């Protein structure tokens, strides 16, 4: 048998060793948020699916917030994982949940209420809240004019807080908060007269004003506010400090300004330039590239005039242009599309036309066999513009509405719904500027009709020949400048 006295020294040593181990273990700090992000190799971010924040187009993932937070993830050397929230309350609620997003980047404006839930970063964009009304209606000029109007804003937004504060002074102000809409929905509802007014930030107005020509700015409501990112509440400042350093650096090195110019510094003008300008370009620009359109259209078995019409819609037959979204060249190809089509230099007109012809043919080949001509061509054009994924979403929505998903006349009615939250939230690919492919196809069809007419071997009647070019029904008077919307 073992002697109890012999066991005591050994047991004492074990107790000492165990105690030391536990003491040392207790001294090891748990990794902070920034360390966990780097260890995982993933930055999880929650945002909104909207044109000013994050959405997918033919270039892939895009949006002001997406581009900025992607640069932050690259700086950290980690991958970016985007999640979208259904509404602002949901967005704030997701922060800090185990395994959930550690950062919210969604055009957020801090408020005393939200500061109790989260912590906000340094600001990166100054915006002004603006009252929006419908052109043709009485324009409100101050807060008192909001009384008696139908007003809707995003649920949980600082705009709702502003209206709540105003209501104390003007009890007659009535407004509705909705979590079933996004800003684009609010602007559309004003544009269509469904509501009298809404309150949105100036950057959202600038982003969407071209799509809603009846929606106008009535007046600025209050002072400018600052948009910031948000992290979970608590004492862990590791990620927040890194974010602030990044935003400060982006302000100094011009990154923020470049993004602001790209997304808010220009107003896209949808639609065609006008018959007068098109006639001028037919004579001055098309002859330089006509042989390339014909050659590559023949290779890909598409109509060269359709290919030329796409080139005009995309670049006005200018080979050295670059859009604000990064697509380049006469046929406005993305970098990924250019590489896939074998284009090494997007600014080379011949290569660009070759790539555009291949891409159009590819889009046509990808369509379901059930789609027949001429609808097949219009669907291919829409996919060329918005991407095949969003087009499939629209076709599925059309089928659910009892429309024919194989007919362009039916699907073009549905495509604009992809910019409305109540519809795009039900789709696979989410938000898209669904009105753009509708305009895109309509404009190209118009250019194509004119090109078809002017290239007929024989012309009937007494059409007027301008030089060696016949232009049908074109007003030779330069059209007056239109007043810009808003």
CATH 1.10.530.10 occupies which residues in the chain? 276-455
pLDDT at res. 486: 35
Query: In residues, how long is the chain?
Result: 486
- Parallel/antiparallel/unpaired status of strands 60-62 and 465-466: unpaired
Q: Is 314 a catalytic residue?
A: yes
For domain 276-455, which CATH number applies: 1.10.150.80, 1.10.600.10, 1.10.530.10, 3.90.228.20?
Answer: 1.10.530.10
Residue 18 has pLDDT above 90, yes or no: no
> Which one of 65, 177, 182, 314 is the catalytic residue?
314
Looking at the domain 33-123+228-265, which fold is it? D-Maltodextrin-Binding Protein; domain 2 (3.40.190)
pLDDT at 480 over 50: no
Which pLDDT value is given to residue 268?
A: 39
Per-residue pLDDT band at 114 (split at 50, 70, 90)? very high
Q: Is the pLDDT of residue 458 over 90?
A: no
Give me the half-sphere count of Cα atoms (radius 13 Å) on the Cβ side of residue 266.
Answer: 11
Mean pLDDT value of segment 232-253: 95
372 exposure class (CB count in 10 Å sphere: 0-12, 13-18, 19+):
exposed
pLDDT digits (tens, 9 = 90+) for 299-318: 999 999 999 999 999 999 99
Alpha-helical (H) ranges within 157-303 are 158-169, 183-191, 202-208, 238-252, 255-264, 275-284, 286-300
- Strand 118-127, strand 225-232: pairing: antiparallel
Residue 468 is predicted with a pLDDT of 34
E strand or H helix that includes residue 134: strand 129-134
Q: Return the percentage of the chain with pLDDT > 90, whole number.
A: 68
What residues have CB less than 8 Å from 272, skipping those under 6 apart?
278, 313, 443, 446, 447
Q: Which residue has the higher pLDDT, 281 or 194?
A: 194
pLDDT in tens, 192-205: 999 999 999 998 88
pLDDT band at 62 (very low <50, low <70, confident <90, very high): confident
Fold of 129-222: D-Maltodextrin-Binding Protein; domain 2 (3.40.190)
pTM of the model: 0.70
Instruction: Give me 367's structure tokens.
Output: 């369509």
pLDDT of residue 11: 57
Distance CA 313, CA 294 (A): 17
> Where does residue 368 rank: exposed (0-12), middle (13-18), buried (19+ CB within 10 A)?
exposed
pLDDT at 59 over 90: no
Which is more confident, 8 or 209?
A: 209
As a whole number, mean pLDDT of residues 151-161 equals 96
Strands 129-134 and 215-220 come out as antiparallel
Q: From CA 263, how far away is CA 272, in angstroms rounded?
A: 22
Q: Note the pLDDT tens digit of each residue in 392-446.
A: 999 999 999 999 999 998 999 999 999 999 999 999 999 999 999 998 998 888 7
Residue 95: its pLDDT value, please? 93
Number of neighbours of residue 205 by Cβ within 10 angstroms: 23
Instruction: Write out the residue limits of the CATH 3.40.190.10 domain(s) in the chain.
Output: 33-123+228-265, 129-222
- Rounded to the nearest 5°, which phi and psi values hold at 245? -60, -40
Contacts of 377 (CB under 8 A, 6+ apart): 306, 364
């Amino acid at each position: 048998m073992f002697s109890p006295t012999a066991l005591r020294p050994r047991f004492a040593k074990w107790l000492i060793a165990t105690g030391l181990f536990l003491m040392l273990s207790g001294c090891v700090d748990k990794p902070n948020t920034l360390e966990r992000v780097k260890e995982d190799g993933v930055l999880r971010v929650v945002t909104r699916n909207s044109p000013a924040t994050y959405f997918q187009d033919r270039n892939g993932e895009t949006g002001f917030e997406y581009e900025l937070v992607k640069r932050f993830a690259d700086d950290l050397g980690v991958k970016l994982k985007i999640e979208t929230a259904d509404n602002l309350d949901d967005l704030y609620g997701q922060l800090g949940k185990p395994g959930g997003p550690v950062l919210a980047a969604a055009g957020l404006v801090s408020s005393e209420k939200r500061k109790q839930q989260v912590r906000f970063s340094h600001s990166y964009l100054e915006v002004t809240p603006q009252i929006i009304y419908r052109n043709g209606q009485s324009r409100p000029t101050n807060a008192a004019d909001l009384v008696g109007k139908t007003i809707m804003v995003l649920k949980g937004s600082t705009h709702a807080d502003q209206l709540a504060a105003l209501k104390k002074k003007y009890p007659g102000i009535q407004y509705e908060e909705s979590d079933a809409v996004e800003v684009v929905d609010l602007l559309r509802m004003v544009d269509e007269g469904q509501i009298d007014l809404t309150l949105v930030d100036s950057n959202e107005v600038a982003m969407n004003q071209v799509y809603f020509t009846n929606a106008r700015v009535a007046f600025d409501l209050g002072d400018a506010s600052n948009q910031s990112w948000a992290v979970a509440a608590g004492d862990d400042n590791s990620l927040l400090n890194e974010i602030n350093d990044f935003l400060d650096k982006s302000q100094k090195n011009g990154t923020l300004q470049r993004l602001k110019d790209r997304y808010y510094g220009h107003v896209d003008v949808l639609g065609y330039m006008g018959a007068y300008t098109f006639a001028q370009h037919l004579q001055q620009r098309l002859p330089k590239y006509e042989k390339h359109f014909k050659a590559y259209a023949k290779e890909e078995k598409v109509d060269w005039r359709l290919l030329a019409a796409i080139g005009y819609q995309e670049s006005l037959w200018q080979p050295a242009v670059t859009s604000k979204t990064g697509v380049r060249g006469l046929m406005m190809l993305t970098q990924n599309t250019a590489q896939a089509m074998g284009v090494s230099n997007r600014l080379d007109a011949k290569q660009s036309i070759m790539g555009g012809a291949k891409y159009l043919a590819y889009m046509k080949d990808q369509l379901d066999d059930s789609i027949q001509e001429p609808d097949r061509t219009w669907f291919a054009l829409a996919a060329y513009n918005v991407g095949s994924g969003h087009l499939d979403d629209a076709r599925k929505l059309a089928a659910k509405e009892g429309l024919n998903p194989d007919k362009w006349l039916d699907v073009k009615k549905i495509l604009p719904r992809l910019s409305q939250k109540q519809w795009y939230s039900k789709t696979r690919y989410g938000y898209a500027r669904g009105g753009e492919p509708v305009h895109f196809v309509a404009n190209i069809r118009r250019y194509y009709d004119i090109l078809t007419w002017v290239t007929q071997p024989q012309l009937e009647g007494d059409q007027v020949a301008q030089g060696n070019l016949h232009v049908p029904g074109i007003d030779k008077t330069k059209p007056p400048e239109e007043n810009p919307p808003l």
